[in-house]
Amino acid sequence: MSRARVLLVAMAAAAAVTSVQAADPKPYRDDARGFQTMIPEGWSDFAGGTTTYSADKSVSCTVTVSPNPRTANMSQDQVNATLVVYTADVWRKQFFSGGATGSIDQAGITRLEAFDAPWAKGRITYPGRAAAKFTVLMVQGPGKIVSGTCTGEPSGYDKNENLYGIGKVLNYLRPT
């Protein structure tokens, strides 16, 4: 193949990825459950539920909301100060119980506006099921914990458009 043809094919591939990523996600707010996020173009609407699926159905992102009475009377800065305990070891204990096995490949705390948000990425296998990749992000406000967990088979999870979608769902997750 000529150099010009190789360059043209590479530019077309880059444009395809860019066009997938350039699509605007739509805001989603569920005041009844107490969270908001973004739904990437092509992903299913939460439609009153707590899970959205990638366009190819290989990745799901589930949001859970729980009350946290211990932090109800705290400021956001005080809530953030309690989150330093979320290390890879804490995530391991949370995910790998009841027969589930896997690894925490990365973990940390990121800042999302006023919220410190612990997160982890890894691999998990539940008994009798295929191995999956996952990313989890937890956002706490006074009196409320919002958590998003995205999982999928590795081949679907690692597609550029799905990684982009996972980023949108989790990076815009907030309590309402």
Question: What CATH code is carried by the domain that includes residue 47?
Answer: 3.40.1000.10
Q: Which residues pair with 140 in a beta bridge?
A: 145
Is residue 151 in a domain? Answer: yes
**Number of structural domains, the chain?**
1
Is residue 19 in a domain? Answer: no
Q: Which domain holds residue 90?
A: 24-175
Q: Which residues pair with 110 in a beta bridge?
A: 117
User: 172: exposed, middle or buried (C-beta count within 10 Å: 0-12, 13-18, 19+)?
Assistant: middle
Q: What is the structure's pLDDT at 24?
A: 79
Is residue 157 in a domain? Answer: yes
pLDDT above 70: residue 11: no
Is residue 131 in a domain? Answer: yes
- Write the pLDDT tens digit of every residue in 80-136: 999 999 999 999 999 998 899 999 999 999 999 999 999 999 999 999 999 999 999
The pair of three-digit structure tokens given for residue 98, joined into one six-digit string: 């009841």
Is residue 73 in a domain? Answer: yes
Mean predicted confidence (pLDDT) in 44-61? 91
Is residue 90 in a domain? Answer: yes
User: 3: exposed, middle or buried (C-beta count within 10 Å: 0-12, 13-18, 19+)?
Assistant: exposed
Cα distances from 159 to residues 52, 55, 66, 165, in angstroms, run: 17, 11, 31, 10
Q: What is the structure's pLDDT at 30?
A: 92
Q: What is the structure's pLDDT at 18?
A: 41
